[in-house]
Amino acid sequence: MKKYDVIFVGGGTAGISGAAYLRRLDDEVTIAIIEPSEWHYYQPAWTLVGAGVYKIEKTRKKEANYIPKNSVWIKSEATEIDPVNNEVKLGNGEKIQYKALVITTGVSYQLEKIEGFKEALNTQYASTNYIYKYAPHTWEILKNFKEGKAIFTVPDTPYKCGAAPLKIMFLADEIFRKKGIRDNVEIILFTPKEHLFSIKGFAESINATAQAKNIKTYFLHRLVAIDPETKRATFENIQNGKRLTEEYNFIHLVPPQKPPKVVCDNPDLVEGSEQPFFLNVSRYTLQHKRFENIFGMGDVCGAPFAKSGAAIRKQVGVVIPNILQTLRSHTPTHKYSGYTGCPFIVGYRKVVMAEFLYDGIPTSSFPKWLIDTTKPSYLMWLLKVYFLPWMYWNMMLKGKMVG
Ligand SMILES: Cc1cc2nc3c(=O)[nH]c(=O)nc-3n(C[C@H](O)[C@H](O)[C@H](O)COP(=O)(O)OP(=O)(O)OC[C@H]3O[C@@H](n4cnc5c(N)ncnc54)[C@H](O)[C@@H]3O)c2cc1C
């Protein structure tokens, strides 16, 4: 049976940037990345695609070009993880062994959890920026929209990029204003949360934007069914169970999310996690709470950080040194602060750069004299549209500018 020092299960944002950083720190460890997809995606730009300011083709590149040197790409799915015997089973039935395992599978979408969800996406009245093929569909619908109700939704599971469902709503408002049809459109948001954004210092800007844009909001409501034939969506009040059905002319959907089966169906990996069905890791070392040679990074983790690429950039600088310590039989000492950065788009050319740590403690990577990041900024828009994609492909995926 083949054996590697470190195996990454999943070659997305976390898997590739983690493997690349590991290779930079250590030339000798043997590395394998298990990843079935031919393509690597830059998902944060899908919001911009949905708003017509970014080309979808620029958001995916060949995975082969990002596999770090002297690392093995196993182009297959992992179907089983056996943490007791340090083995991973692949799609073809073959098993491979590891000294340390990094689980970086991200999340999978549970489209079937909501009746009518899949069917609605194939109509001219519904879309989602969360799926590569539908992000351009969002723009097609928004640019041709004439009048009626535009509904935006937030899922009731943990989900990636907490702000993405709201970003496209704020951009839609501006699209309608530019077309001169805003008075003919009612924008409605349904969210299972009790606020738009919880981080002090930034929440004020977001609330003010929603108010200025005249967004009607139903808090504590989750989507339970869609009827694409009659264009009706049904929501449930999560406190009292009361249902409400609303007709729509456009609905932006966000799929319910949970780790892929290889993780969420394995009780050894998920039991005891802070987020049910997610990987049971320590929120600081990102080491598995039962198996000390297993670590997690990115969206698959059940620790209470915001699921984002920005969070992963910092996690790489913690997890990789911790793995090297573990391989040398030391206790991992590097700790993750819960950092995430969320370029909260509140309109065209306007971004509030919300950065925060565990427990919602606000922070900033920029000096106060240069910019007050709690206010909408054109500079941060430029960062989001030009600098961050460049940094992703050229630095982060090569193990640079991490940590
Ligand atoms: C619309 C949208 C907007 C966003 N906006 C932002 C933003 O502005 N800023 C930001 O920082 N983040 C943003 N994000 C979030 C960010 O893209 C994700 O948090 C990040 O990509 C997660 O990385 P990951 O490695 O955990 O998962 P992914 O990048 O999704 O990679 C997981 C990989 O694992 C593979 N995999 C799955 N199952 C298996 C298996 N069984 N075996 C082997 N491989 C497997 C998959 O094929 C995939 O390649 C956004 C996301 C979306 C969808």
Active site residue: 31, 74, 342, 380, which one?
Answer: 342
Confirm whether pTM is higher than 0.95.
yes
pLDDT digits (tens, 9 = 90+) for 78-123: 999 999 999 999 999 999 999 999 999 999 999 999 999 999 999 9
Q: Is the CB of 296 under 6 A from ligand 1?
A: no
3-state percent breakdown (helix, strand, coil) of the chain, nearest 5: 30, 25, 40
- Torsion, CA 140, CA 141, CA 142, CA 144, rounded to 10: 80
User: How far away, in angstroms, is 372 Cα from ligand 1 center?
Assistant: 29
Q: Is the pLDDT of residue 385 over 90?
A: yes
Superfamily of domain 111-256: FAD/NAD(P)-binding domain (3.50.50.60)
- Which atom number of ligand 1 is nearest to the Cα of residue 14? 25
Position 332 pLDDT exceeds 90: yes
Whether residue 403 has pLDDT greater than 90: no
Nearest CA residue ID for atom 20, ligand 1: 309
The phi and psi torsions of 173 (rounded to 5 degrees) equal: -55, -45
Angle, vertex CA 305, rays to CA 336 and CA 151, nearest 5: 155
Please name the fold of domain 3-107+259-337+388-398.
Answer: FAD/NAD(P)-binding domain (3.50.50)
Express each pLDDT in 162-205 by its tens digit.
Answer: 999 999 999 999 999 999 999 999 999 999 999 999 999 999 99
The protein residue with its alpha carbon nearest to ligand 1, atom 37, reads: 105
For residue 66, pLDDT beyond 90: yes
Mean pLDDT value of segment 139-161? 98
Domain boundaries, the chain: 3-107+259-337+388-398, 111-256
264 is catalytic: no
Cα distance between residue 125 and residue 127, in whole Å: 7
